[in-house]
Chain A
Amino acid sequence: MQTVDWQVIVKQHGLIVWQTAYRLLGNYTDTADCFQETFICALAVSRRQQVRNFPALLSRLATARAIDQLRQRTRRPRANTEPADLSAVPGCNPDPPKELETGELAAKLRKAIAQLPPQQAEIFCLRYLNGMSYRLIAKQLGIRTSAAGVSLHRARAKLRVLFAKAPGYEESEVRS
């Protein structure tokens, strides 16, 4: 079993986990839950195998947990009774319409990611949100690099279809 100083790990890589989870979930409460679950999962993984790349592992675990929560949220839509997350409100907003459009696009993408198969969603997020290379993604997921590329391609194709089906956006706009 690997001996890990978890205080150091949380201090060093907590920011990556927090950012990864918050990007996908978009609220404080879910992100905090996801943060804790990620490190508990990382502990379980470190008991089973030697961990050489903690940032990549934590990014993958955070992404997977966040996607799970997104899928649960999609399956059971709940009333939004949480207090507003005022920390996410930008202080100085130069372009409110653009900010609104960006927020809507991000919300639509979150919803679409929740409808993807789990592995495709994970690969898409790790590639485009965390900026991980194909090789690193494949190594983390235990698949071949080519398989990661194929899954990413399929994920993008499905996302295009889901965006085209989303109300308010025409397919021509998606393909343009």
Chain B
Amino acid sequence: MTQEKNLLAKATEALANTEVPPGPPQEVVNATLAKLAAAIGEPVEPTVRSLKTARRIRITPDLIKFAAAAVFLIAAGYLVGRLSAPKPMDAAELYATLKPAIQQDLLEPMGRQWQLILAGNNAELKDQMQQDFRQEMNEFAVRTLTASGALTNQYLKDLVQSINASQMQNRRWLAAALQQIEMDRMRDKAQLANGIETLAVATGDELQRTKNDIAQFLVYNQPTGLNPNVYESPNNTNERSRQ
């Protein structure tokens, strides 16, 4: 059963059942009573803060009631005012009201004007319409030509710019290619020079080695009694033949 209790319960039980030594000891009681006597002898001077706190505690329920009543009255007044206020006129309703009157006011003078115009001379009307048509056509032609000219100029300008750009690009590519060719040529030249130099050195060494071999061969095959210095030139700088 004890094992089934959780750790907190066990700890609580352990703390609650802590062995407390018998007490309080008499000296602690005496010291406490002495302190209490000293504290009782001191005059009680409630601070302003404690008075304020006590008053606040005392008036808090009344204050809460007053505040609740004030909030309720304000809310009620607001609701009454909101409900009794005239509603603002609806825009759609105003539009629907004014639309027939305005239409009526506009349609009557326009109808009268049109009737006067139609009653006039048909030929005059025809000439007027032709003149207006021609004038509009001329204006349209001028506008169209102007617009097409500006558009053509714009296209030509764009074409020239694109040609210039492509030429510039080609020049750049050409310059880059020439530079690359020049660099390749310089590198090949340097490699060729190194190769030729290496070949010359190797050839010189081989030639010298061949000379030495021939001289040594001749020295070995010389018959006894002959002057060994016949084949040895005083100008020979070969170290092996000297030896």
- Which A residues fall within an 8 A CB radius of B? 1, 6-7, 10-11, 14-15, 17-19, 22-24, 26, 28, 31-32, 35-36, 39-40, 43, 47-48, 85, 87-88, 90, 102-103, 105-106, 108-110, 128-129, 156, 159-160, 163, 169, 173-176
Task: Tell whether A160 pairs with B8 under 8 Å between CB atoms, given A10-B32, A43-B36, A85-B21.
Answer: yes
> Among A1, A36, A85, A110, which residue has its beta carbon within 8 angstroms of that of B15?
A110
Q: Are B15 and A175 in contact (CB under 8 A)?
A: no
B35 at the interface (CB under 8 A from A): yes
**In the complex, chain B residues 184-220 whose Cβ is within 8 Å of any chain A Cβ:** none
Q: How far is the CA of A172 from the CA of B10 in the complex (A)?
A: 15
B64 at the interface (CB under 8 A from A): no
Chain A residues with CB below 8 A from B25, complex form: 32
- Told that A87-B22, A109-B15, A174-B6 touch, could you supply 13 new A-B pairs with CB distance under 8 A? A17-B24, A18-B20, A23-B15, A31-B23, A32-B25, A32-B31, A36-B35, A39-B35, A39-B36, A90-B19, A105-B11, A106-B15, A169-B7
B50 at the interface (CB under 8 A from A): yes
Interface centre among B21, B22, B31 (most CB of A within 10 A): B21
Q: Are A35 and B39 in contact (CB under 8 A)?
A: no
Q: Are B32 and A109 in contact (CB under 8 A)?
A: no
Number of interface residues of B (CB under 8 A): 32
Offer 5 A-B interface pairs, CB within 8 angstroms, sorted by A: A31-B23, A32-B28, A88-B19, A109-B11, A110-B15
Q: Are B21 and A40 in contact (CB under 8 A)?
A: no
Q: How far is the CA of A15 from the CA of B24 in the complex (A)?
A: 6
Task: Tell whether A23 pairs with B33 under 8 Å between CB atoms, given A43-B39, A160-B8.
Answer: no
Chain A residues with CB below 8 A from B237, complex form: none
Interface of B, secondary structure class, is helix
Q: Are B44 and A22 in contact (CB under 8 A)?
A: no
> Among A10, A23, A106, A129, which residue has its beta carbon within 8 angstroms of that of B29?
A10
> Among A31, A35, A163, which residue has its beta carbon within 8 angstroms of that of B32?
A35
Q: Are B39 and A48 in contact (CB under 8 A)?
A: no
